[in-house]
Chains A and B, each alone.
Chain A
Amino acid sequence: MSHGAHFLYVEDDSLSREVMQILLNEVIDAGSVTILPTSDNFIERVRQLEHLPDFILLDIYVEPVNGYDLLTQIRADSDFAHTKVIAVTASVMSTEVALLKAKGFDGAIAKPLDFATFPSLIHRIEAGEVIWQV
């Protein structure tokens, strides 16, 4: 269950960060929520966390390293072998979705996030399903 799971979210838009914070804390009841506004020194900073994340949610257009490259770094690190990496994106062009799939994300969720369906999406991804809710 996602109750008590540890989440990490990278997002440059402050309102989006705030929405996610509330969704994860209040609606999903996450074990811990870490939110980074930039992807600076990403791997290093994640290692310093008290709990390694069960879920990493990535905005694609983050600075200085974009979401695709962050995924590559995560996948290259055995510490994150069991971590689900999900793209949270405002880009729903079919070409971009195809790229997300090709890069190996465990799923993608489109903005705007839906208060009603978001918890079940996370739950399904945790259960091993690959979700492309875009």
Chain B
Amino acid sequence: MTTDQFLLLLPYIFSALVSLSLAGYAWSHRKVAGALAFVWLALGQTINTIAYIFEVLSDDIDAKLFWDDVQWFTFFYIAIVTLIFVYQFVKPPLKHPSRWLAGLLVFPILFLVLLLIDRSLVRTNESLSGGEQFFILNYDFTVLGYIASLYLLAVGILAIVLIIWGISRANILQRRQLITILIGISIPFIGGLLTVANVTLTFQRDISPIMIAIGNLVIAWGLFRYQLFEIAPIARTTIFESITDPVIVVDTVDRLVDLNPAARTLLNQPSGKPLLLGHNLRESFREWDELSLEVPDSGQSFERELSLNRAGIQRTFVLSSSPIPIYKNIIGGRVVWFKDITERKHNEGELRQRTQELDQARQQAEFADEQKTQFLSVMSHELRTPLNAIINFNQFVSSGLFGAVNKKQIEALEKSTTSARQLLELINEMLDLSKIEAGHLELHIEPVIDFRREIEEVIAITHSFMNSKSVNLQEDIAPDLPTFEGDKRRIRQVLLNLLGNAAKYTEVGHIRLRVWYDNATIQFAVSDTGPGIPLDQQALIFEPFHQLNRDSHKSGSTGLGLPISKRLVEAHGGKLWLESSAGEGSTFYFSLPVVNNFL
């Protein structure tokens, strides 16, 4: 080989070296999926390039044909291995990949056998022509040669299609890597096409070996740039080292295989001290028994709880032993993980205690509510009997049943009666509120057939509240009120409360009750010409006891009536609200659905 020849072949020699080094590098990382296929790919390409160099260097036709045959071998080899390489990267869902591979191999084997039997089946018109530095081998393809070229073309296209399919499904990091590999694989493919199309370098040399090397560099760049091969084992090691729980790996006869820093501490192995890897844990470590590392069957997953004293503090661990399958059903050893559950246990205990305390508090509160309702209920009952006597005897006297009475006496007796009724109202309201708040309010929903009569009664009672006031009580009740569903007694109570309030607070003018039917609801409106309620008080008057710190003594009311009314209406699925402004009087509205779907 002359210097000129060497210089002309230098790109090819360089290409072969590149492919060989890449194969070597990938071999050292062969445990990662895809790497081994790349090793075989790069090796095949190296041989292909070397065969090419030898072909160029040979100066008799038989030697040249031999090296050309070797190149044919390697072309098929490279095509198939490229496909396997791509397959391992994109993992298409094939049920029987080995059958596909066998199918793909049929033609190459047939072709190569034919090639070995008779070269003329592939090539015709072989001749040598003289070039500037080398003899050049010329030949034409037979039909079989063209079919072989088409086969290689098809496998190349298949590999490219597979990668594109993989790219369409990959995440961003994988996608960038796959695109790089796609480019790396496409370059030799294009080189092959150019060779078939007779595109050659200026000195009539094949372009494809150089394209292969460039392609390999691109593939390798893709692999190393994204470093997926390298990251995984480093990441695994980092994770293993940084686990704060002790983790120990032993083989099937309990020899120490690996342990993380936390486990070193547990086994009293300072980090400076060389690891006692390979030593039998059972014999070499007195901690064996203390840590109860013995398990019934090292081939089975196993968990037990144990308590250990670490740095003077008692801590609770779950010892979890999991077998490591090395190949199929063969167990190579086991991982023993000491999960520190001290905090969790502590928290669980705290939580249990809190829950118990809350439960107890809730039960106590419920019991207290129950007691309160019970007490108020008894009070209501016990008060009614004496009040029956007070109110009725007052009325007997004031009505003149027991002899003539004068106006002053009548007024005094009426005040006494009103006070007695207020007393009853107070206890009833407290009882209602207590029941509402304890969730014990029961509505007796039934069809309310003739509510007009109830309204008339409530109006009659309201009249009696107004005594001698010069207030006009008007009513405007729609004649066609439908039957509706509700608790008649409770609705009557709400109406009486609203009219009673109006009567209580209105000194001059009028009180007006309107009742009408609209949009599947019965609508009530109680308007008065009283002092009105300022905007900032409007939400407050529906809060229980809001009046107690203000002017309850003046109004003679507990302020419980409105909160109870609002809740009673809401329990019917209705709404209660007011429109008012200071000095303009008030209108309280409430609406009740005709059909009660609420309960």
Contacts and interface: CB of A to CB of B under 8 A. Distances in A.
Interface string A45-71: 000000000000000000000000000
20 contacts: A15-B385, A15-B388, A16-B388, A16-B389, A19-B388, A19-B389, A19-B393, A26-B401, A90-B380, A90-B382, A92-B384, A93-B377, A95-B442, A110-B384, A111-B385, A112-B388, A112-B392, A113-B388, A114-B391, A132-B489
Please give me the 6 A-B residue pairs with the lowest Cβ-Cβ distance, nearest first. A90-B384, A115-B395, A112-B388, A15-B389, A111-B388, A19-B392
B401 A22 contact: yes
A93 B442 CA distance: 10
Given A15-B386, A90-B385, A92-B380, A112 B391 contact: yes
Most buried by B among A15, A22, A115, A134: A115
Interface in B396-441: 396, 399, 401, 420, 424, 428
Contacts of B381: 90-91
The bracket for how many chain A residues form the interface is 20 to 34
A114 B424 CA distance: 13
A61 to B, nearest CB: 9
A94 interface: yes
B169 interface: no
B: contact size bracket = 20 to 34
Interface in A1-40: 13, 15-16, 18-19, 22-23, 26-27
Interface string B368-394: 000000000100111011111111110
B31 interface: no
B493 to A, nearest CB: 11
Contacts of A27: 401
A127 interface: no
Contacts of A95: 442
Given A18-B389, A115-B391, 19 more contacts: A15-B385, A15-B388, A19-B389, A22-B401, A90-B381, A90-B385, A91-B381, A92-B428, A94-B442, A94-B444, A95-B442, A97-B444, A110-B384, A111-B388, A112-B384, A112-B391, A112-B420, A115-B396, A134-B489
B444 A115 contact: no
B88 to A, nearest CB: 78
A23 B393 CA distance: 10
B464 interface: yes
Contacts of B457: 117
Contacts of B384: 90, 92, 110-112
Nearest to B441: A94
A112 B424 contact: yes
A116 interface: yes
A98 interface: yes
A115 B420 CA distance: 14
A16 B385 contact: yes
A90 B385 CA distance: 7
Interface string A80-95: 0000000000111111
Give chain B's interface secondary structure class: helix
A27 B396 CA distance: 9
Nearest to B424: A112
Interface of B: 377, 380-382, 384-393, 395-396, 399, 401, 420, 424, 428, 442, 444, 457, 464, 489
Contact of A23 (B390, B392, B428, B464): B392
A111 B385 CA distance: 7
B467 to A, nearest CB: 14
Nearest to B457: A117
A22 B392 CA distance: 9
Which of A23, A93, A112, A116 gathers most chain B CB within 10 Å? Answer: A112
Contacts of A91: 381
Interface string A94-131: 11011000000000001111111100000000000000
A134 to B, nearest CB: 7
Contacts of A134: 489
Contact of A116 (B385, B424, B464): B464
A18 B386 CA distance: 12
A114 B399 CA distance: 13
A49 to B, nearest CB: 25
A22 B402 CA distance: 10
A40 to B, nearest CB: 21
Contacts of A97: 444
B571 to A, nearest CB: 12
A115 B388 contact: no
B395 to A, nearest CB: 4
Nearest to B389: A15
A15 to B, nearest CB: 4
A50 B510 CA distance: 54
A46 to B, nearest CB: 24
Contacts of B380: 90, 92
Contacts of A113: 388, 392
A27 B386 CA distance: 20
A117 to B, nearest CB: 8
Contact of B392 (A13, A110, A115): A115
Contacts of A94: 442, 444
Contacts of B388: 15-16, 19, 90, 111-113
A15 B389 CA distance: 6
B377 to A, nearest CB: 6
A13 B382 CA distance: 12
A57 B382 CA distance: 19
A76 to B, nearest CB: 28
Nearest to A101: B444
Contacts of B395: 115-116
Contacts of A132: 489
A85 to B, nearest CB: 20
Most buried by B among A13, A90, A110: A90
A94 B380 CA distance: 13
Nearest to A15: B389
Contacts of A23: 392
Contacts of B386: 15
